[in-house]
A and B are shown apart, each in its own frame.
Chain A
Amino acid sequence: MNQLNLDHATASAVFNKNEPRVDWHDETLWFVRAKRDRAAALIPEWEDLREAASQIKNHVLSNMHDLLVQFEENARKNGIHVHWAANADEHNDIVLGIIQKTGANRMVKSKSMLTEECHMNNFLTSHGIEVIDSDLGERIVQMRKEPPSHIVLPAIHLTRADVGETFHEHLGTEKGATDPQYLTEAARQHLRDTFLTRKVALTGVNFAIAETGGFVVCTNEGNADMGAHLADVHIAAMGFEKIIPRAEHLGVFLRLLARSATGQPITAFSSHFHKPRPGQEMHLIIVDNGRSRQLGRTEFRNSLKCIRCAACMNTCPVYRRSGGHSYHSAVAGPIGSILAPNLDMKLNADLPFASTLCGSCSNVCPVKIDIHDQLYKWRQVLMREGYGTTGKGAAMKAMATVLESPRLYRMAGKIGRGVLRFSPAVAENRFNPWFNQREMPAPPSESFRDWYVKNKKS
Chain B
Amino acid sequence: MTSREQILANVKANQPALHPLPEQFRFTSVFPDIVQQFMDILAFVGGKAERVSDYEAIKKHIQEYYPGMTNVATTIPELASLADTTLAVTDPHDLASLNLAIIEGQLAVAENGAIWLDERQLPQRVTPMITQYLAIVIRESTLVPNMHDAYQRITVNTTGFGTFLSGPSKTADIEQSLVIGAHGARSLIVYMLP
- Residues of chain A touching chain B, judged by Cβ–Cβ distance below 8 Å, are 28, 31-32, 45, 48-49, 51-52, 55-56, 58-59, 61-65, 68-69, 78, 84-86, 90, 134-137, 140, 153-156, 158-160, 163, 180-181, 183-185, 188, 191-192, 195-196, 209, 212-214, 220-223, 225-226, 228-230, 240, 245, 247-252, 254-255, 262, 264-277, 286, 288, 292-293, 295-296, 298, 301
A-B contact pairs, 19 of them (CB 8 A): A55-B21, A59-B18, A59-B19, A59-B21, A68-B8, A135-B173, A153-B172, A154-B173, A188-B183, A195-B183, A209-B156, A220-B182, A225-B125, A229-B126, A265-B44, A265-B45, A266-B147, A275-B160, A292-B14
CB-CB nearest in chain A for B8: A65
B1-28 interface bits toward A, Cβ cutoff 8 Å, 1 = contact, 0 = none = 0111011101111111111111011110
Q: Nearest Cβ in chain A — how far from B140, in angstroms?
A: 19
Contacts of A69 in B (CB 8 A): 8
A252 to B152, CA, bound (A): 12
Given known pairs A275-B161, A295-B14, A296-B14, the reply for A153 and B166 (CB within 8 Å) is no
Q: Are B124 and A184 in contact (CB under 8 A)?
A: no
CB-CB nearest in chain A for B96: A196
Contacts of A251 in B (CB 8 A): 25-26, 146-148, 150-151
Given known pairs A212-B157, A214-B156, A265-B45, the reply for A52 and B25 (CB within 8 Å) is yes
Q: Are A269 and B156 in contact (CB under 8 A)?
A: no
Contacts of B182 in A (CB 8 A): 136, 184, 188, 220-223
Q: How large is the interface on B (under 10, 10 to 19, 20 to 34, 35 or more residues)?
A: 35 or more
Q: Nearest Cβ in chain B — how far from A426, in angstroms?
A: 46
- Residues of chain B touching chain A, judged by Cβ–Cβ distance below 8 Å, are 2-4, 6-8, 10-22, 24-27, 41, 44-45, 92-93, 96, 109, 111-114, 124-126, 128-130, 146-148, 150-152, 155-157, 159-177, 179, 181-185
Contacts of A274 in B (CB 8 A): 156-157, 159-162
Contacts of B45 in A (CB 8 A): 264-265, 268
A62's partner among B16, B113, B151, B157 (CB-CB below 8 A) is B16
Q: Are B183 and A191 in contact (CB under 8 A)?
A: yes
B13, B128, B148: most-surrounded residue (chain A CB, <10 A): B148
Q: Are B183 and A223 in contact (CB under 8 A)?
A: yes
Given A163-B175, A240-B11: 4 more A-B contacts, CB < 8 Å: A31-B176, A292-B7, A292-B11, A295-B14
Contacts of A226 in B (CB 8 A): 126, 129-130, 183-184
Contacts of A269 in B (CB 8 A): 129, 163-166, 169, 184
Q: Nearest Cβ in chain A — how far from B190, in angstroms?
A: 13
A56 to B26, CA, bound (A): 12
CB-CB nearest in chain B for A218: B164
Q: Nearest Cβ in chain A — how far from B130, in angstroms?
A: 7
CB-CB nearest in chain A for B125: A229
Contacts of B165 in A (CB 8 A): 268-269
A292 to B172, CA, bound (A): 35
CB-CB nearest in chain B for A258: B112
Q: Are B173 and A286 in contact (CB under 8 A)?
A: no
Contacts of A292 in B (CB 8 A): 7, 10-11, 14
Contacts of A188 in B (CB 8 A): 181-183
Contacts of A225 in B (CB 8 A): 125-126, 129, 163, 184
Nearest 9 pairs of A and B residues by beta carbon: A222-B184, A275-B160, A296-B14, A265-B112, A221-B182, A229-B126, A137-B173, A292-B10, A55-B22
B16's partner among A68, A137, A191, A301 (CB-CB below 8 A) is A301
Q: Nearest Cβ in chain B — how far from A189, in angstroms?
A: 10
Contacts of A181 in B (CB 8 A): 179
Contacts of A55 in B (CB 8 A): 19, 21-22, 25
A266's partner among B4, B112, B124, B176 (CB-CB below 8 A) is B112
Q: Are A272 and B163 in contact (CB under 8 A)?
A: yes
Contacts of A247 in B (CB 8 A): 151, 155-157
CB-CB nearest in chain A for B12: A65
A273 to B157, CA, bound (A): 8
Q: Nearest Cβ in chain A — how far from B182, in angstroms?
A: 4
A267 to B46, CA, bound (A): 12
Q: Nearest Cβ in chain A — how far from B43, in angstroms?
A: 12
